Chain A
């Protein structure tokens, strides 16, 4: 990674993410999967991954403050409107797993979840 690129990431949210325990990719080779959140769904709601292949979920909130949590892989992050949040995920097991919004965001919050399919 070029120094200029590293500086951009840190200035653009890397410090905040590091403070929140979120892993930011240091390798441009990792697959980036855009995930959009809005009341009350994830788009896409089904994400297909390969076991042991690291990916970067690039989360953007369309309307309100949300959370992304994949408990089976012990990763989560806040998703704040107005900026992209990057979350590194290394699926270390195959199967079908739930991810969910873990910030109570409104009267449809309880239906706000999706599926990770790891093969």
Chain B
């Protein structure tokens, strides 16, 4: 749902003050001078993955993306990883080794504001226990320039549920917000039933979406499906991000959900990250990047 500039400026004044208003002034399109607020979304790095047929450079892909983020013309206000930082393992010690190594690798990001959330590969086998040792809480909120960000954990429950306790926490948080408050959710799995046959869903995601419906400016950024995908549930936009290890097929395009094979003629194809910034026409303007740092 688009809103006009005047409305958005009014919202900013009411919900976020002059800082958000000034951030909107220069953000009608990406790449323009004077941008004051944008973030970078990285996702699904699957540190520890081994599978030469789909990525012969599993330990080099994430560092390449980090170099590309560090080289962006304008430093993002913050960076968010939307889950599956590591590839799953049944061995709890190996899980911790991968998380520790991942943390060391991403410490090279030239930005003090990096936020994390788990994916099912990180957290589903021990309900987030190891992940919390390295990164803290798996769900939390923060505010930035008038936007309210909610990080929702739909992976620590191996049944892909947000769960009653977290839904109650979310309801309480939302109860304090005006209905015109700009809201962004970060999740790992899609909240809507994108393709349950491929495990691309959240069992109680509809409850979260219903809770968000009264709010007029809601956007969800997620990972999990290893490709860019855009969807709307009524006025709520849902944007998935590319992976940093291997792409997955377009939903329903093939019988089985298998990683797309590496193409030596086009290495790293289908991998990348994105920038997002408030936009008067689309609420969030997105710019996709390849891991090389080139614009996609």
Chain A contact residues, CB within 8 Å of chain B: 65, 67, 69, 71-72, 78, 97-98, 100, 102-107, 109-110, 113
Q: Contact: A100 with B159, CB < 8 Å?
A: no
Q: Contact: B90 with A107, CB < 8 Å?
A: yes
In the complex with contacts A69-B196, A71-B197, A110-B257, A102-B88 CB distance below 8 A: no
Give the B interface residue count (CB, 8 A): 20
Q: Contact: A102 with B197, CB < 8 Å?
A: no
Q: Contact: B90 with A71, CB < 8 Å?
A: no
Q: Contact: A107 with B88, CB < 8 Å?
A: yes
Total A-B residue contacts, Cβ distance less than 8 Å: 42
Closest B residue to A101 using CB positions = B199
Provide the residues of chain A in CB contact with B257, threshold 8 Å: 110
Residue B120 is within 8 A (CB to CB) of chain A in the complex: yes
Q: Contact: B197 with A106, CB < 8 Å?
A: no
Residue B181 is within 8 A (CB to CB) of chain A in the complex: no
Residue B124 is within 8 A (CB to CB) of chain A in the complex: yes
Provide the residues of chain A in CB contact with B125, threshold 8 Å: 104, 106
Q: Which of B123-181 contact A (CB under 8 A)?
A: 124-125, 155, 158-160
Provide the residues of chain B in CB contact with A69, threshold 8 Å: 196
Q: For B160, give its contact among A72, A98, A104 (CB under 8 Å).
A: A104
In the complex with contacts A71-B196, A71-B197, A98-B197, A107-B89 CB distance below 8 A: yes
- Which of A102, A104, A109, A110 counts the most chain B CB atoms within 10 A? A104
Q: For B158, give its contact among A71, A97, A98, A104 (CB under 8 Å).
A: A104
Q: Contact: A100 with B90, CB < 8 Å?
A: no
Cα(A71)–Cα(B155), bound, Å: 19
Provide the residues of chain A in CB contact with B196, threshold 8 Å: 69, 71, 102
- Which of B88, B90, B160, B197 counts the most chain A CB atoms within 10 A? B197
Q: Contact: B199 with A100, CB < 8 Å?
A: yes
Q: List 5 A-B contacts (CB under 8 A).
A: A78-B159, A102-B203, A104-B160, A105-B158, A107-B87
Chain B contact residues, CB within 8 Å of chain A: 87-90, 120, 124-125, 155, 158-160, 193, 196-199, 203, 255-257
Cα(A70)–Cα(B118), bound, Å: 26
In the complex with contacts A69-B196, A71-B196, A98-B197, A103-B89 CB distance below 8 A: no
Closest A residue to B203 using CB positions = A102
In the complex with contacts A72-B197, A110-B199, A102-B90 CB distance below 8 A: no
Provide the residues of chain B in CB contact with A109, threshold 8 Å: 88
Q: Contact: A100 with B160, CB < 8 Å?
A: no
Q: Contact: B89 with A102, CB < 8 Å?
A: no
Provide the residues of chain A in CB contact with B90, threshold 8 Å: 106-107
Closest B residue to A65 using CB positions = B158
Q: Contact: A103 with B199, CB < 8 Å?
A: no
Provide the residues of chain A in CB contact with B255, threshold 8 Å: 98
Provide the residues of chain B in CB contact with A72, threshold 8 Å: 197
Provide the residues of chain B in CB contact with A110, threshold 8 Å: 199, 257
Provide the residues of chain B in CB contact with A113, threshold 8 Å: 256
Cα(A97)–Cα(B256), bound, Å: 11
Cα(A97)–Cα(B120), bound, Å: 24
Closest B residue to A112 using CB positions = B199
